[in-house]
Amino acid sequence: MMKLRSSPASPFGRKVKLAAAILGLKDRIEVQDTNTADPADSIRNQNPLGKIPALVLEDGEVLYDSAVIVEYLDFIAGGDRLFPAGEARFAVLRDQTLADGIMDAAILRVYEKRFKEKQYRDPAWDAYQGAKMERGLAYFEEKTPPAPATTADVTAGTLTLACALGYLDMRFAGEWRHDHPGLVAWLDAFEAVVSAFTDTRQPPAPVPENAPAQLR
């Protein structure tokens, strides 16, 4: 059985879990909680960067990061499902990269508050990352993907977008919803089709500033 090193709050880990569920591979993967802040955790041997998610294959080989893992899962499920063949593939890859970038910027903002004393935080850095998030959201609001009718309509791009929006709900109290009604409606439609999105949701909660790094 494959082993997914992740944590419940990780949006990138959630992305892999959604892909596995959509592709019918959930029963072939054991999810193992991972503490990236613990030097004794084996994640640092499995992924030299010490990041999650990482997928340990049955032969011991390890794949990372989430984009690579999702493409691998698509491959072993027969291919051309989350990543369409032909020219359409590149739009999916682009949207996946943009949604990944929104999550990256959001995590950096969380880390800024979590790991720095208040007097050392940089408001300009926070604003810089926040602007990335807003531009990404504005793009998707303007070019909102078609709502999936079935899981067969879900791509790597749209499942990553759903995870990005879910992470903003959890860590930023859903503030994105006020100015992006199209994305709100789209996410509701996505969740109605992809039950794994509901199953993997983490409730929003305040995060202690001294908590271990368990976001990615």
Delimiting residues of CATH 1.20.1050.10 domain(s) in the chain = 88-199
Q: Residue 78 region, left (φ>0) first, then alpha (ψ -120 to 50), else beta?
A: left
Comparison of pLDDT for 204 and 28, the residue scoring more: 28
pLDDT at 22: 98
Q: Is the dihedral of CA 21, 78, 4, 113 positive or negative?
A: negative
Strands 62-63 and 54-56: antiparallel
Task: Give 159-215 pLDDT, tens digit per residue.
Answer: 999 999 999 999 999 999 999 999 999 999 999 999 999 999 987 755 444 444 443
pLDDT at 35: 94
Strand partners, 203: none
pLDDT at 114: 85
Task: Give 60-113 pLDDT, tens digit per residue.
Answer: 999 999 999 999 999 999 999 999 999 999 999 999 999 999 999 999 999 898
pLDDT at 206: 53
pLDDT at 205: 53
> How distant is the alpha carbon of residue 169 from its chain centre?
13
Mean pLDDT across 6-24: 97
Q: Is the dihedral of CA 51, 122, 98, 156 positive or negative?
A: positive
Q: CB atoms < 10 A from the CB of 115, how many?
A: 13
Give the whole-angstrom CA distance, residue 106 versus residue 93: 20
Give the whole-angstrom CA distance, residue 212 versus residue 35: 8
Dihedral in degrees, nearest 10, Cα atoms 192, 197, 203, 205: -120
pLDDT at 204: 72
Q: Which CATH number is associated with domain 2-76?
A: 3.40.30.10
Mean pLDDT across 107-127: 90
Under the banding of pLDDT at 50, 70 and 90, the label for residue 216 is: very low
Delimiting residues of CATH 3.40.30.10 domain(s) in the chain = 2-76
Q: Is the dihedral of CA 89, 94, 98, 104 positive or negative?
A: positive
> How distant is the alpha carbon of residue 191 from its chain centre?
15
- Selected from 3.30.590.10, 3.30.70.3040, 3.40.50.740, 1.20.1050.10, the CATH number assigned to the domain covering 88-199 reads 1.20.1050.10
pLDDT at 211: 45
What are the start-end ranges of the E strands in 12-138? 29-33, 54-56, 62-63
